[in-house]
Amino acid sequence: MRRVAVVGVGHSKFGRRDDVNLGELAFESIKPALEDAGLAPEDIPFLVVGNGGFCEETLPAVAIADYAELYNAELLRVEAACATSSAALSMAYNAVASGKVDVAMAVGCEKMTELDTPYIVELIGRAGFFFWEFQHFGLTFPGYYALHATAYLNQYGASEEHLAMVAVKNHKYAATNPYAQFRQEITVEQVLKSPYIAWPLKLFDCCPITDGSATVILAAEEKAKKLTDTPVWIEAIEGCGGSANLSKRESFVGLKAAQVAAEKAFKKAKITPDKIDVANVHDCFTIAELMAMEDIGFCGRGEAYKLVEEGQTYIGGKIPINVDGGLKAKGHPIGATGTSMIYSLTKQLRGEYIKSNQAPIKHGYALAHNVGGTGHYAYITILSRK
């Protein structure tokens, strides 16, 4: 297997994007990614589109490739719930690492607002065990994570204030991110006063419905060194699946799939969690960020909320997390979230990120944690400038 580097990244504005269609939205990230890599559309031989189906296009990959004039590319579309574009990145990585192609592009794109909110709530609610959990008990996605939140708070003594602190931190960094959906800071008091969606999760504990795109271009080592002076290497991209039936799970204070994926990724990269300088984790709800920190190994079980309370997840702390605003405030366009994380982390490792949001890079490693469903899919990607 060949070494593979990120050589180009691009990002669209996240939010409600009624001003563009799917192809136009995707092109907002494809164009800057091509420019970043110094490539033209005809230079892309392999294209993987991550799209979860939240749009009117039956063949979204075709619409995106056509608008961007990527006519030389072998084309496919993948889906892995909220981890969709991490799955796309994994496919593109494998194509390059195996020697099939020297360059590949992964595009994550979603226009969720083309569907009405009740229908979106239903679709996401079906993302577990449909017959048992959705049809019989009516679980929504906030309801799933509320089960995790009640278990975590009860087992470890954390409070709703600790969940609120996660939201406050992520909104702080989204406020200075020009691509973010919610660009305003909030307070703990505002979070605690917001209405409950699924106890103990409130409105400000939940990520929004979002439109957006993010693109990553990969190249084999020899090609990468010709294209850029700042290649960002993929040291590991590992995934794992989990049971669709929550009743089969041993614990609700973590996601087993994410734990296994993290263990495999650190083994592949031959590093330990303390070498990670900055991370993006899947904070679809505030409780998810706490569980992610422990699943990855940034701290022990029941310790994440203490790090949050101490401010250790801010820039300057032990492990800066979601300093682009995360899913919570940057937005969560399901098909684009994974590649959006890679965009932010690539810019971080290059030292090119938003000045106020740039984390200190000491060891040269960054990590993306992307979960689909409630641990039905999980991907861990480790990047480096080594």
Residues designated catalytic: 82, 332
Q: Tell me the C-alpha distance between 59 and 34, whole Å.
A: 23
Strand 74-78 relative to strand 365-372, pairing: unpaired
Cis peptide before 200 (omega within 30 of 0): yes
In three-state secondary structure terms, 239 is strand
Is residue 202 within 8 Å of 217, Cβ to Cβ?
Answer: no
The helix (run of H) or strand (run of E) holding residue 269 is helix 256-269
Distance CA 258, CA 43 (A): 35
Count CA within 13 A, CB hemisphere, residue 106. 32
DSSP per residue over 151-171, as a string? HHHHHH---HHHHHHHHHHHH
Find how far residue 167's CA is from the centre of its chain: 16
In sequence order, what E strands does the chain have? 4-11, 46-50, 74-78, 103-111, 196-198, 201-202, 211-220, 232-241, 276-280, 365-372, 377-384
Length of the chain in terms of residues written: 386
Cβ 82 vs Cβ 53: under 8 Å: no
Residue 333: left (phi > 0), alpha (psi -120 to 50), or beta? beta
* 191 Cβ contact list (under 8 Å, min separation 6): 163, 164, 167, 168, 202, 204, 205
85, 336 Cβ separation under 8 angstroms: yes
Classify residue 89 as exposed, middle or buried by CB count within 10 Å of its CB (0-12, 13-18, 19+).
Answer: buried
